Amino acid sequence: MARTEGSRIAGGLATPKQAFYWQLYIASYTGLLGVPFLFFPRSVLPLIGFDPSMVDQAPFVRLTGMFLLCLTLITFRIWQKKIEEMVLGTVMIRLFIIVTVLTVWITGDFPFLFMVAGIVGFGVLGTLWSLRSVNLLHYV
């Protein structure tokens, strides 16, 4: 689709600026979770209800931190470049994250995961609310 001035796609409505601010919200919480998971997981894991010996058993905690920091970079670039086609994509990804985290929470009873689902869900609701005047089928 051809872009015109600002944040507008030819033939469509402009994505509200608030939708892009929610990308900063995503970048904030993924960065705040990613840095400690990657660099000092032994200190963080007990705070969220996990055994710190998990760090020695497998690299998945540090890899989780790396992936969270990758999400931070991606969402920051969506905000920085105002890539409106990607905003709805982040909603879909975050809905998948919510379903996955809640499933793991139900099967393992880790309260931290319920809080993560709430943080992510708050961002999804905020993004969808800011897009309420936009025809979302335009982006699918």
pTM comes to: 0.81
Domain count, the chain: 1
User: By residue range, what is the domain housing residue 58?
Assistant: 15-139
Helices 17-39 + 111-130 axis angle, to 10 = 160
Q: Is 8 part of a structural domain of the chain?
A: no
Tell me the chain's radius of gyration from C-alpha atoms.
Answer: 17
% the chain with pLDDT above 90: 64
- pLDDT band for position 140 (50/70/90)? low
- According to the model, what pLDDT value does residue 3 have? 46
Q: Is 3 part of a structural domain of the chain?
A: no
Structure tokens belonging to residue 108: 């393992």
Q: Is 92 part of a structural domain of the chain?
A: yes
Distances (CA, A) of 99 to 2, 11, 47, 83, 109: 34, 34, 23, 25, 15
pLDDT at 2 over 90: no
Q: Is 7 part of a structural domain of the chain?
A: no
Q: Is 72 part of a structural domain of the chain?
A: yes
Q: Is 1 part of a structural domain of the chain?
A: no
- According to the model, what pLDDT value does residue 5 have? 45
